[in-house]
């Protein structure tokens, strides 16, 4: 598998939003490159930043991963009830890892 390019994360400006985006990109990059067997990434549809609700977008590193190695679920394609059920199932699975 090819690792995501770090050239795309060059900071464009000095705004707080840009600094936060760069930090989140760094976290994504570390998680993707250090996963040994599987990697599960989640995404909230909205997030509160600087006191305001904002839509979120998937990490740009996802676009650089081989499609055959990825399974994408959700992204608004399923009914809200299905997304909530899958989220509860995933959270339960993650929590069971700490038992």
DSSP string, 63-83: GGS-GGG-----TT-S-HHHH
| Total tally of structural domains belonging to the chain | 2
What is the domain extent for residue 46?
1-65
pTM: 0.44
Q: What is the pLDDT of residues 31-53, one digit of tens each?
A: 878 888 887 777 777 888 889 99
Q: What is the pLDDT of residue 23?
A: 86
Q: Report the alpha-carbon distance of residue 28 to residue 6 in Å, rounded.
A: 11
Minimum mean pLDDT among 13-27, 64-78, 79-93: which range? 64-78
Residues 16 and 47 in one domain: yes
Q: What is the pLDDT of residue 12?
A: 56
**Residue 1's domain is classified under what CATH number?**
3.30.160
Residues 7 and 28 in one domain: yes
Write down the mean pLDDT value for the chain. 77
Residues 57 and 75 in one domain: no
Q: What radius of gyration, in Å, describes the C-alpha atoms of the chain? A: 15
10, pLDDT greater than 70: no
Within the chain, where are the H helices? 16-34, 80-96
């Amino acid at each position: 598998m090819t690792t995501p390019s770090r050239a795309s994360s060059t900071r464009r400006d000095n705004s707080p939003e840009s600094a936060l985006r760069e930090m989140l990109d760094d976290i994504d990059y570390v998680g993707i490159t250090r996963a040994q067997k599987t990697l599960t990434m989640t995404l909230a549809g909205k997030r509160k930043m600087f006191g305001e609700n904002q839509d979120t977008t998937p990490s740009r590193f996802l676009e650089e991963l081989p499609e055959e190695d990825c399974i994408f679920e959700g992204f608004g394609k399923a009914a809200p009830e299905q997304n909530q059920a899958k989220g509860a199932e995933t959270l339960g699975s993650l929590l069971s890892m700490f038992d």
